[in-house]
Structure 1
Amino acid sequence: MTAAENPAKPGQARKHVVFVTWKAGNAPAFEAAARLGHRVTLIRSLRMEKSQNIDFDATPYGRFVDAVHVLEDATDLDALRTRVRAVHAAHPVDGFVATVDALVVPVARIAEELGVPFTRARAAEDAKQKDRCRRVLAAAGLDTTAHAVVPGAEEAAAFAARHGYPVVVKPARGSGSEGAHVLADEAELRAVLAGAADRPAYAAGILVEEYLQGRFVSAEIGLSAGRFLRLAVSERSTWHRHEALETGTTIPAALDAADHDRVMEFAEAVVGALGLGLGIFHVEVMLGADGTPRLIECNPRLMGSCLPNLFQLAGGGDIFELLVRIHLDEPVDRPPSSFARYATVRWFGAADAVPRPARAPDTTWAAAEYGPHLHSFTVRFPEGEVLAPCRGNLGNFGEVQVVHPDHDTSIRLAEDIVRRTAEQLGFEVTR
């Protein structure tokens, strides 16, 4: 059945949902909207699809979508506005969904112009500009993290002299860990920031921050009709050689009830202080040894990559259907999530520059040995003769997802597969 043939459920009006994304992984959200009986429009962004080696046309998303519009660059506000206004004139839009960092703010601005419910534009801008986010939260008494936006290495070194090493350096506006570093001393700081002001990643400024210690987790929370929905606390892993690089996630986190509630309460306070208004949000938190949560960053969109799939594998339900319903501003009555399993992903790329293998390794051994606990395992090398050192999410070429009733076993199985793959490849990977 195509999207156009899918009628609304009895007693339910057929609404129009517009997705703006370059992620083929959002196809389950298109399917959810079509299953709910709604009209589905997709606006794609060709430049980012090409840069991330995404072949959208090879995916089966088309049977869930009524109309597709391809822009060269959907982050171009004027181009996106023109296309959306034409779509809205033909079929009035009831809700937007944007799950990519760079698209949330432009979609939010256009939604406000049209009077369509969405995450508030000014709040989304504040969340994405990391120094502004900290200023808003400091004014609300929620953040005490020392930070500064600096033009270069001299000012960053002066900050570190005041606050001590290590320090965190990252783009003031960015995502995917690109351009983020944990720096142990002045020599590292100056090496990383040499010429940084001229790099596109730091176009919005170089943010230097106090280093936070503890357990790295994230809160996944919804906000619908002024009511928070507690979806999950996820635990994150990082690479020891480059601590800013995330290597994986487990849903749910192995936290006791008190720490779980502290993280959720803090995330709710952050979202409330920013005034985000509506959506599903991904709030990254460092949970201190004393149980105090500190903000790493607040993302005004759904958790990324394969994490919605992990959420479902762990038993949390269909988060994409929930996403659609929230963005259509429907009332949602949902108790806090209850999980029966632990779902883990591990991503990996080349630890150092190495020649690109002629072909991907044979991975059939993993399914044979790990059986039903292995959900998916992919290795796909990018084009080029050399695999560049992976220092951000876009540098990963491998991903493994496992699910198991035991927390420690879920993580161990995923890490075993990555270790054995590195041995098979004959070079070290990020893990």
Structure 2
Amino acid sequence: MTTAATHREDGYAPQHVVFVTWKAGNAPAFEAAKRLGHHVTLIRSLRMEQSQNIDFESSPYAKYVDRVHVLQDATDIEALRRRIHAVHAERPVDGFVATVDALVVPVAVIAEEIGVPFTDARAAEAAKQKDRCRDVLAAAGLDSTRHAVVTGFDEAAAFAARTGYPVVVKPARGSGSEGAHVVADPGELRAVLAAAPAAGAYRTGILVEEYLSGRFVSAEIGLAHGRFLRLAVSERSTWDRHEALETGTTIPAGITPAEHDRVMEYAEAVVGAMGLRLGIFHVEIMLGTDGRPRLIELNPRIMGSCLPNLFRLAGGGDIFDLLVRIHLDERIERGPTEFTRYATVRWFGAVDAVPRPRQVPDLGWAAAEYGADLHALTVRFPDGDTIPPCRGNLGNFGEVQVVHADRATSIRIAEDIVRRTAELLGMEVTR
């Protein structure tokens, strides 16, 4: 469906922006692009949509897309290349937006081929290959985390003997905490690696890393025309029984101004050393007890899930508006974000495999009790008779979003709602 474009008052003419696939959390970017007056094209990937149980036809954001092209699998770079070249021939592309990990590099490669500004392809590839990313940053003097790509238990055990337990085992390339483990001893290491060949996430290699301790935060930073835009530092929570599993986020983080600046300076140095060139980036960092930032992971894309919405709820504004403008290579004038509230999300899934409940319980009590503090509470069970144990972000079936002027209260309400929802469900959940 086509919606009439608006004319901008800032001197920028309407342009053609192409989104390559989508997920529910970043669908508001279509609206942002249309509100800015642009022609919006979407290249869908049915395989990705089906894996996330999302339906474009029923999305309220479908009305903001002018033209839709459908691919079975947009990660097939040859199929994607043919489609983008055809789109570009029909109406020249001015900018691309890709917010899904698996598509940033293919889009970057094709954007360079047709001369459209985008994140640097070689830098994005290096960022996604975690061991390569650490090697580049080590050469720049920014990362000293010991790591190794291993083929099996003997090599991993030798690494752990040098660094000491615990160690982190994760796919050399991946996202969403899938396949990641904090391993406490040789027995657990042997069990994790024995299961690795059956885990598709490890097809690009097994990475073993030194364990980092401290406060887990992430920096969200933009980069346009060589200028960094400091957007947010958020704090992350993890499940104590499987530390690699994230259970939630609060924006902004409860850290001091000095710590905030230290995290942002480090994130800027990381992105600069990698040469990512253009975009909004999600940099996961461990802020040590000594105040020193250490890299956990660099993602060459905007923060995922509902986090852009948390950014807005906390008073940061529309980050999708900014995302579209950056990828259309505009010059952005923007100071550091000044938040007015704390927005918290908590995700939860089943601790152990359990029978799938017949229906979702009535959740109206939460809105009645918490009122405007509660922004959203959703429970969606996966298909099938059994809910599998949650060990990665894709295993969550529940989410609660809370916004409050007080940080501790925002977190407490979110955690109380998760606890009470679990009691209603009669099952133990990750939290």
Letter in 2 for 1:28: P
- Give deviations 1:127-158, integer Å, cap 9, x for gaps: 00000000000000000000000111221111
Structure 2 residue runs of 5 or longer lacking an equivalent are none
Q: Normalization by structure 2: what TM-score?
A: 0.98
Letter in 2 for 1:331: R
Question: Does the alignment pair 1:317 with 2:348?
Answer: no
Structure 1 residue 61, shift from structure 2 partner: 1.8
Q: For 1:35 and 1:368, how far apart are their aligned partners in 2? A: 34
Three-state SS of the structure 2 residue aligned to 1:169 is: strand
Question: Does the alignment pair 1:341 with 2:352?
Answer: no
Q: For 2:394 and 2:317, how far apart are their aligned partners in 1? A: 28
Instruction: Give the structure 2 partner of residue 354 of structure 1.
Output: 354
Q: How many residues align?
A: 430
**Contact kept? 2:235, 2:253, Cα under 8 Å:** yes
Instruction: Give the structure 2 partner of residue 187 of structure 1.
Output: 187
Q: For 2:83 and 2:143, how far apart are their aligned partners in 1? A: 39
Instruction: Give the structure 1 partner of residue 70 of structure 2.
Output: 70
Structure 1 residue runs of 5 or longer lacking an equivalent are none
Instruction: Give the structure 2 partner of residue 172 of structure 1.
Output: 172
- What is the percent sequence identity of the aligned residues? 77
Letter in 2 for 1:253: A
Q: For 2:298 and 2:174, how far apart are their aligned partners in 1? A: 12
Three-state SS of the structure 1 residue aligned to 2:61 is: helix
Letter in 1 for 2:273: A
- Give deviations 1:355-393, integer Å, cap 9, x for gaps: 110111110000000000000000010001111000000
Letter in 1 for 2:5: N
Letter in 2 for 1:105: V
Three-state SS of the structure 2 residue aligned to 1:60 is: coil
**Contact kept? 1:152, 1:197, Cα under 8 Å:** no
Q: For 2:142 and 2:378, how far apart are their aligned partners in 1? A: 40
Three-state SS of the structure 2 residue aligned to 1:391 is: coil
Q: How does 1:120-131 map to 2 (within 5 A)?
A: 120-131=120-131
Instruction: Give the structure 2 partner of residue 156 of structure 1.
Output: 156
Three-state SS of the structure 2 residue aligned to 1:194 is: helix
Instruction: Give the structure 1 partner of residue 237 of structure 2.
Output: 237
Instruction: Give the structure 2 partner of residue 54 of structure 1.
Output: 54
The list of structure 1 runs, each at least 4 consecutive aligned residues, that deviate by more than 4 angstroms after superposition, is none
Three-state SS of the structure 2 residue aligned to 1:41 is: strand
Q: For 1:389 and 1:167, how far apart are their aligned partners in 2? A: 23
Three-state SS of the structure 1 residue aligned to 2:258 is: helix
**Contact kept? 1:3, 1:34, Cα under 8 Å:** no
**Contact kept? 2:179, 2:199, Cα under 8 Å:** no
Instruction: Give the structure 2 partner of residue 374 of structure 1.
Output: 374
Structure 1 residue 24, shift from structure 2 partner: 2.6
Q: How does 1:285-296 map to 2 (within 5 A)?
A: 285-296=285-296
Q: For 1:87 and 1:348, how far apart are their aligned partners in 2? A: 40
Q: How does 1:91-240 map to 2 (within 5 A)?
A: 91-240=91-240
Letter in 2 for 1:337: T
**Contact kept? 1:152, 1:196, Cα under 8 Å:** no
Three-state SS of the structure 1 residue aligned to 2:204 is: coil
**Contact kept? 1:280, 1:302, Cα under 8 Å:** yes
Q: For 2:153 and 2:210, how far apart are their aligned partners in 1? A: 16
Structure 1 residue 4, shift from structure 2 partner: 4.3
Instruction: Give the structure 2 partner of residue 273 of structure 1.
Output: 273
Letter in 2 for 1:139: A
**Contact kept? 2:25, 2:304, Cα under 8 Å:** no
**Contact kept? 2:229, 2:335, Cα under 8 Å:** yes
Question: Does the alignment pair 1:5 with 2:4?
Answer: yes
**Contact kept? 1:4, 1:39, Cα under 8 Å:** no
Q: For 2:56 and 2:33, how far apart are their aligned partners in 1? A: 18
Structure 1 residue 12, shift from structure 2 partner: 3.2
Structure 1 residue 56, shift from structure 2 partner: 2.1
Structure 1 residue 165, shift from structure 2 partner: 0.2
Q: For 2:321 and 2:46, how far apart are their aligned partners in 1? A: 26
- Give deviations 1:44-64, integer Å, cap 9, x for gaps: 110111122112221112211
Structure 1 residue 162, shift from structure 2 partner: 1.2
Three-state SS of the structure 2 residue aligned to 1:82 is: helix
Three-state SS of the structure 1 residue aligned to 2:92 is: coil
Q: For 1:191 and 1:25, how far apart are their aligned partners in 2? A: 35
Structure 1 residue 125, shift from structure 2 partner: 0.3
**Contact kept? 1:224, 1:278, Cα under 8 Å:** yes
Three-state SS of the structure 1 residue aligned to 2:17 is: strand
Letter in 1 for 2:96: F
Structure 1 residue 22, shift from structure 2 partner: 3.2
Distance verdict in 2 for CA 1:195–1:397, change over 3 Å: closer
Structure 1 residue 414, shift from structure 2 partner: 0.1
Three-state SS of the structure 2 residue aligned to 1:170 is: strand
Three-state SS of the structure 2 residue aligned to 1:378 is: strand
Structure 1 residue 3, shift from structure 2 partner: 4.2
Instruction: Give the structure 2 partner of residue 385 of structure 1.
Output: 385
Q: For 1:198 and 1:140, how far apart are their aligned partners in 2? A: 36
Letter in 2 for 1:143: D
Three-state SS of the structure 2 residue aligned to 1:231 is: strand
Instruction: Give the structure 2 partner of residue 399 of structure 1.
Output: 399
- Give deviations 1:79-100, integer Å, cap 9, x for gaps: 0000000000000000000011
Letter in 2 for 1:54: I
Letter in 1 for 2:15: K
Structure 1 residue 199, shift from structure 2 partner: 2.8
Structure 1 residue 9, shift from structure 2 partner: 2.2
Structure 1 residue 191, shift from structure 2 partner: 0.6
- Give deviations 1:153-187, integer Å, cap 9, x for gaps: 22111111111100000000000000000000000
Structure 1 residue 270, shift from structure 2 partner: 0.1
Q: For 1:153 and 1:174, how far apart are their aligned partners in 2? A: 20
Three-state SS of the structure 1 residue aligned to 2:285 is: strand
Instruction: Give the structure 2 partner of residue 365 of structure 1.
Output: 365
**Contact kept? 1:282, 1:301, Cα under 8 Å:** yes
Structure 1 residue 197, shift from structure 2 partner: 3.2
**Contact kept? 1:43, 1:69, Cα under 8 Å:** yes
Q: For 2:121 and 2:373, how far apart are their aligned partners in 1? A: 41
Q: For 2:356 and 2:198, how far apart are their aligned partners in 1? A: 29
